[in-house]
Structure 1
């Protein structure tokens, strides 16, 4: 067996670093133009340069999204942008549009190209077509079952790689192609500006009965009839590996550094465990517990085991489950004193129970018993955003270890 790549989202430089440190083999990110996450932090060319240097120093890869479905004006500046990316030694570009593909072939013919899920690749003949054009990898449509994926992999050209989403938000529309945002608020989802109207509250009304709502609502809040559950395949690593998928992709360029680190860490552990003990592999409950501690909606397995039924939707709410708060990140640790220097991310106070996780350690818990500000004065809480402070730790910690706590009822 060939161990699959674990591919993580990077909405900014911090998220890129956390993804790689916590176990991702590669990251995908967008520049300031031509990508489908216009509201993400996104990367300037200088940021991309720095991100690539960090990744390559760790022996890991960076893929850049140029996957909008462009109108004529969107093509302006594309050639120059691609040339700049080529100079920065980007590992691959992710695209969905034949015009963008042609432009890349004209100005950077040696560039590795990955076909985005936006291109809706659902069969082996389409895969063969794109391979013959020069595509190295295809990100499969999310609407495929394991049986369909295995058939595509077996019948596709042997040099072609396949990537698939294994975790994160699901789109109600076919592989992300949607005009609902355009209609509702005038923001083009296919050009990076999705307003997520599938998460809005809706009622059903028949046109000849104005004001009379059909009894499909679950409660007084309404019914979220377009609201998909999040995808989570951490319980199914053997099936994913055996399907022939080369790269396991996590969704979430709009998510936090904590989300990226937590989810990547869990999948890293699950994949490594399977390859260490394929014959005696047992799913560890801790992995699923970990992904539940990151912001999420209720989980499903998407289309992998067949078309989702009503259990693939959430009809009660569009809200995320956020049971845990990311409260700090370790900046330094003095082993002699057992005191860590920490950057605050959310308020924490003396007496609170916290959990500490890191890329290479098992999670442990402790109470906050003592904290000091940068002047060495004892403090009872750290309320200020990104406040630097010190804390005594029960066990040794490392730079980039994450501190979290369970949210209170009023948060």
Structure 2
């Protein structure tokens, strides 16, 4: 049985390595040009080389986003950039526009091309059209139901389909939005979205300038453009059995901790299915796990085909929910001393109760028994970002495990 791909976001080299270590089959990244995440750190050529080597040495793939909606001026340098990507060894280029697709077919004819969700592919005739132009995979529009996606796969069995299953949703049609341009002069279709859909709004009457009337959902006002986050982990079995080729997680601007937590949860759900498809059952612990990364409530959005998406909006707040903080990454573990070397991310104290997660390692609770500086001094607290210390957790751990602590309200 061909296994479904788990595709993870990688906004920088740390996130790429984290995604692969925690179970992603492939990652999508952006270079320094032509991608839709200008706020992400993105990759230099040198970082891309290191990331591709890291992925390929583990049998994983790297896709590069070149999915802006280009104007004439944006066509300069595209040919040279695509040729450089091929030389670097990327596995596919993600495009959204016929111009970039045409250029790619001309200068890198053997390169695999994926069609971004920005292209708004919503039916099987359109999907087939793109397939005939040389597209090997489409990223389905987020506005599609599971039934519609299955219909596309039925009519286009040789075309791969990539489907968003987790992460931020957009108020606009698959991300084609002009609000950010209009309000902040930042072009969302070139990667610089200011997310004005997340802001709180009031009403101003034309002849009463300066008088702001709240559009009240409650005492805080209403965020009527603000979508909840997508989460389809409960529907893993249906998605796999639909014939979809890739389950995609959104979030190149999110933290490495977010990537680790969400990838790990979906990895567990997917692997559980392949162990025994007929007996697969959703486990609440998987949903509990993704809720330990920051999120804006969850919705299944258009999955079931419902036309009423009012429950998919978060009218009360544009803020994230955050219940856990990463406190450190395990750099190494000494079997003799039973101490792990930890790089601190958020402060922690001796006697703190924490959780430990790792790839192929169940969520485990522990108590910090001791903290020691690298020169051997006992410490009550580690409170300097990126500080490295030795920690006694009382249990065996491995490199790349993550330590986290419940947020103190």
TM range (shorter): over 0.9
| Structure 1 residues 95-138: Cα deviation after superposition (integer angstroms, max 9, x where no partner) | 10111111111111111000000000000001111100000000
Partner residue of 1:290?
289
Q: How do residues 107-146 of structure 1 correspond to structure 2 at under 5 angstroms?
A: 107-146=107-146
Q: Which range is displaced more, 228-237 or 70-79?
A: 70-79
Match of 2:398 in 1: 398
Partner residue of 2:76? Answer: 76
Distance 2:66 2:226 in 1: 27
SS at match of 1:149: helix
Distance 1:164 1:220, change over 3 A: same
What is residue 269 of structure 1 aligned with on the other side?
268
Separation in structure 2 between the aligned mates of residue 292 and residue 122 of structure 1, nearest angstrom: 30
> For the aligned residues, what is the CA RMSD?
1.3
Q: What is the CA-CA distance between 1:214 and the residue it aligns to?
A: 6.0
- Paired residues of 1:266 and 1:291 also in contact (CA < 8 A): yes
2:259 corresponds to: 260
Whether contact under 8 Å (1:231, 1:301) holds in the other structure is yes
What does residue range 83-102 of structure 1 map to in structure 2 within 5 Å?
83-102=83-102
Does residue 1:249 correspond to 2:248, yes or no? yes
Q: How many residues of Structure 1 are paired with residues of Structure 2 in the alignment? A: 408
- The yes-or-no answer on 1:233 pairing with 2:240 is no
Post-superposition offset of 1:404: 0.2
Match of 1:51 in 2: 51
* Residue 301 of structure 2 corresponds to residue 278 of structure 1: no
Q: Secondary structure at the match of 1:176?
A: coil
TM-score, normalised on structure 2? 0.97
Residue 42 of structure 1 aligns to a residue whose secondary structure is coil
Give the 5 Å matches for 1:294-305: 294-305=293-304
CA 308–57 in structure 1, closer or farther in 2 if over 3 Å, else same: farther
SS at match of 2:378: coil
Q: Show the counterpart of 2:366.
A: 366
Distance 2:185 2:210 in 1: 26
8 Å CA contact 2:302–2:309 kept in 1: the answer is no
2:181 equivalent in structure 1: 182
Deviation at 1:212, TM superposition (A): 6.3
Alignment gaps of 5+ in structure 1: none
Query: Could you list the per-position Cα deviations for residues 186-231 of structure 1 after superposition, in whole angstroms to 9, with x for gaps in the alignment?
Result: 0000011000010011123454665666664123322100000000
Using the alignment, how far apart are the partners of 2:177 and 2:98 within structure 1?
A: 19
Structure 1 contact 302–308 (Cα < 8 Å) conserved: no
Contact 1:235–1:283 (CA under 8 A) maintained in structure 2: yes
| Whole-angstrom CA distance in 2 between matches of 1:87 and 1:221 | 53
Please list every run of 5 or more consecutive structure 2 residues that lacks an aligned counterpart in the other structure. Answer: none
Normalised by the length of structure 1, the TM-score is 0.97
